[in-house]
Amino acid sequence: MKKIISTDKAPKAIGPYSQAVEVNGTLYISGQVPIDPAIGKLIEGGIKEQTEQVMKNIGAILNAAGLNYSNVVKSTCLLSDMDNFAAMNEVYSRYYTSEMPARAAYGVVKLPLGALIEIETIAVK
């Protein structure tokens, strides 16, 4: 059974997709960019600030589904500049401190709204 997960504590979708979809105990979170849900705009700052906002957005969606970061099994990180990889890892590692999820990281040409980072996430109950 498919269930759409949505919260006003994370940014609204900026296209024809859901914040997350839960199917049979697995939660698929759409790629999150560093939008502050309170103002609906991309936050100011560099990769560390943007990664922090993305992780907060992911946390809000996990919470709306009754989960937390320990339920995450896979992350896919998209970076507009791979030179930001180490700084992104510095922030990311504060959210996953044991039993790290599987992960892939890619350098991409461009991200929505000029973001420096986007992360999509899969979690299980």
The predicted-structure confidence for 53-86, as pLDDT tens digits, reads as follows 999 999 999 999 999 999 999 999 999 999 999 9
Residues 93-102: tens digit of each pLDDT: 999 988 999 9
Cβ-based neighbour number of residue 15 at 10 Å: 6
Assess whether pLDDT exceeds 90 at residue 30: yes
Distance CA 22, CA 4 (A): 6
Check residue 76 and give its pLDDT.
98
Cβ-based neighbour number of residue 7 at 10 Å: 17
Distance CA 38, CA 124 (A): 28
Check residue 24 and give its pLDDT.
97
Check residue 68 and give its pLDDT.
97
Check residue 37 and give its pLDDT.
97
Provide the angle, in degrees to the nearest 10, between the axes of the packed helices 85-92 and 47-64.
40
Domain edges within the chain: 2-124
Check residue 14 and give its pLDDT.
81
Assess whether pLDDT exceeds 90 at residue 112: yes
Check residue 102 and give its pLDDT.
98
Query: Which CATH superfamily includes the segment(s) 2-124?
Result: RutC-like (3.30.1330.40)
- CA–CA distances in Å: residue 21 to residues 6, 24, 50, 101, 121: 9, 10, 24, 19, 11
Mean pLDDT of all residues in 106-123 = 97
Question: In DSSP terms, which residues pair with 29 in a beta bridge?
Answer: 20, 121
